[in-house]
A and B are shown apart, each in its own frame.
Chain A
Amino acid sequence: MRWINTKPSRGAQLALMLLPFVLLIAAYTAGSAARLAENANDKLLPSLAGFTEAINRLAFLPDARTGDYLLWSDTAASLIRLFAGLGISTLTALLIGMVIGMLPYLRALLAPFVAVISMVPPLALLPILFIVMGLGETSKIALIVIGVAPTMIRDLALKALELPREQIVKAETLGGSSWQIALRVVLPQILPRLITCVRLQLGPAWLFLIAAEAISSDSGLGYRIFLVRRYLSMDVIFPYVVWITLLAVLTNFILDRIRIAVFPWSELEKQG
């Protein structure tokens, strides 16, 4: 049989899915054990016990200086920034993306501008943001918005443009005005894409968040990682990275579930 026609069974699929993760953990454990055997004070690859100790300290014991439970306060600080940034981007993208996709005049006005703006490297703007908006939350959220929104706008505008012309014409023959067509035909059909779009932008959004927190902050997951870097605290950095990854994966999964639950037809279309 050709390779392209061989398919794994359910069990094999599960095993294959887990394999890379298991290999990664095994490789780390072996590497860590080897280094620790050579030098018990090695900080580069802490043992799993070291991680447990660090996680316990950060998550379940109050910080000696502030009395906060650091992992949770960091998470809360980061997530508020992240979702504020993503939320603003989503609303902007929906609004501007739809008018670009639907109205030829505004498309002529905005599409080239957005295309150029989306090419500006957001991190290069970070100093400007810090100078103009100060070192507080505003500049961090603004960085996420600037980094994420242009791509989302372009994606949604494309999606709105992709709707078959026939559908729009049909809606016109049903007596729909521009506003009604936007509300009843275009909006519901690009909302599922909007959710997918947010999912795809989760990675960049975290990137900009951590970049902003690394430079100026007093809390947040990125701030902590860059703070403890000075003490080579790999036992803190590794769990934080895993935790961030876990949060992103979870958000991604929940968003997709929401799409399927709220727009069941979008899943049917995919299969059909």
Chain B
Amino acid sequence: MSELIIDNVWKEYGDQIVLENVSLTVASRAFVALVGPSGCGKSTFLRMLLGQEQATRGTILLDGEPLPPEPGPDRGVVFQRYSVFPHLTVLGNVLLGKELTVSRYKAKLFGAARRAGIEEARQLIAEVGLSGAEGKYPAQLSGGMQQRLALAQALIMKPKVLLLDEPFGALDPGIRAEIHTLMKRLWHETQMTVVMVTHDMREAFTLATRVVAFERPRDRPEEKQRYGATITKDIAIWPPRRAGEPSYFSPDRDGPVILQGPYRDDPSSSPSGDK
């Protein structure tokens, strides 16, 4: 289980109040999209869930336990950029999580453990549609492929919560649609709760079970400093989406899009062959 309880959280930087009085309970296996105008603190909120930043007041509980004050393996993350390691190949990137978990001092796997790790990593790589690119470095991949790699890299840890910070914001619409299908499938197949920050309303409503909007209720210039943003809308998608269950009301809405041929963001598959 992986229930998140955010209780009366405030975030202040010195005198500047960024978030005030944020309370939210995210059910296990939910997919929550956080939306709101730029600078309303939704990324700050995500970083607090991640443990990269601490709440000034209030508590965040994961499965009833307070969140540790630093990022850890129970919470995976995909950022918009810099999520993958440029010095590792696709396989190396996915394998890294295994290596860091198993080998404490060398942080490398050898022999049978390595072969098992590679096997698992390859399966995940195939899962996100990157088979055949195992030996490539991120600089040789397109933006969409890099984000799929970042997903695979996070998923090998089997995190309780997956945090996404505008992960698909820089991708073009066609590729974004493909990666949405992938994201939805991964959410159905794994046991994780997903929290995603996005600017794209369409994305929020296509993927999420629940869309939460952050806004500053008081936004006059003289009020900006002392009043932060808070949750102003909390919309449950209807008919409800549930992880692992096909949609009862309109099956085609959440049904898989059947992909023919390789993903479109694969530079080696474009008809002209150029990057």
Does A173 contact B86, Cβ atoms closer than 8 Å?
A: no
Residue of A169, A172, A175, A188 with most partner-chain B CB within 10 A: A175
Give the interface segment out of B15-23, B69-77, B168-176, B200-208. Answer: B69-77
Per-residue contact bits, chain A 229-269, to B (CB 8 Å; 1 contact, 0 not): 00000000000000000000000000000000001111011
Pick the residue among A170, A171, A183, A265 that contacts B137 (CB under 8 A).
Answer: A265
A265 touches B75 (CB 8 A): no
Q: How many residues of B contact A (CB 8 A)?
A: 37
Q: Which listed segment binds A: B27-35, B95-103, B212-220, B221-229?
A: B95-103
Q: Which residues in B have their C-beta under 8 angstroms from that of A265? A: 86-88, 137-139
Residues of B contacting A166 with CB < 8 Å? Answer: 79, 81-83
Interface residues in B46-97 by Cβ distance below 8 A to A read 50, 52, 70-73, 75-77, 79, 81-88, 96-97
> Of B73, B84, B99, which is within 8 A of A173 by CB?
B73
**In the complex, are the beta carbons of B86 and A189 less than 8 A apart?**
yes
How many chain A residues sit at the interface, stated as a range, is 20 to 34
Inter-chain contact A272/B85, CB cutoff 8 Å: no
Cβ of A184 and Cβ of B96 under 8 Å apart? yes
Bound-state CA distance A173–B138 (Å) is 19
Main secondary structure of the interface of A (DSSP, over half): helix
B75 is contacted by which of A173, A177, A264 (Cβ under 8 Å)?
Answer: A173
Q: Mark B residues whose CB is within 8 Å of A.
A: 50, 52, 70-73, 75-77, 79, 81-88, 96-97, 99-101, 104-108, 137-140, 150, 153-154, 157, 159
The 6 closest A-B pairs by CB, nearest first: A164-B82, A268-B139, A175-B73, A172-B71, A166-B82, A174-B97
Instruction: List residues of chain A with CB under 8 Å of any chain B CB.
Output: 164-167, 169-177, 179-180, 183-185, 188-189, 263-266, 268-269, 271-272
